[in-house]
């Protein structure tokens, strides 16, 4: 499990969404829009799951570079 993160469109900094997800499951799930509070801007941003990533073990893996699920 890792923290679902997205990039703040204003500051470009990583924002934790507060969601926790298994990386492979997150990358294979249908994309969706969500809204999360951004501490950098002190307001909410809407973000797209296709642009988000799961951060575990400090490694940032872009969704579209993820290992195919078939490898599981
Ligand atoms: Zn922001």
Cα 72 to averaged position of ligand 1 atoms, centre (Å): 35
* Cα separation, 16 vs 52, whole angstroms: 10
Reference 6, options 28, 39, 36; nearest CA is 36
Residues 6-59 pLDDT 10s: 999 999 999 999 999 998 899 898 888 999 999 999 999 999 999 999 987 655
Tokens of 47: 């973000």
Cα 42 to averaged position of ligand 1 atoms, centre (Å): 7
Query: What pLDDT does residue 67 have?
Result: 53
Q: pLDDT > 70: what percent of the chain?
A: 78
- Phi/psi at 54 (5° precision): -105, 125
Cα 30 to averaged position of ligand 1 atoms, centre (Å): 24
Residues 28-43 pLDDT 10s: 988 889 999 999 999 9
Q: 41 near 56, Cβ under 8 Å?
A: no
Query: What pLDDT does residue 4 have?
Result: 94
Q: How confident is the model at residue 64 (pLDDT cuts 50, 70, 90)?
A: low
């Amino acid at each position: 499990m890792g923290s679902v993160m997205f990039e703040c469109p204003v500051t470009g900094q990583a924002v934790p969404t507060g969601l926790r997800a298994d990386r492979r499951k997150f990358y294979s799930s249908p994309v969706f829009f969500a809204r999360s509070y951004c501490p950098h801007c002190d307001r909410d941003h809407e973000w797209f799951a296709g642009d988000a990533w799961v951060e575990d073990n400090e490694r940032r893996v872009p969704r579209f570079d993820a290992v195919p699920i078939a490898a599981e």
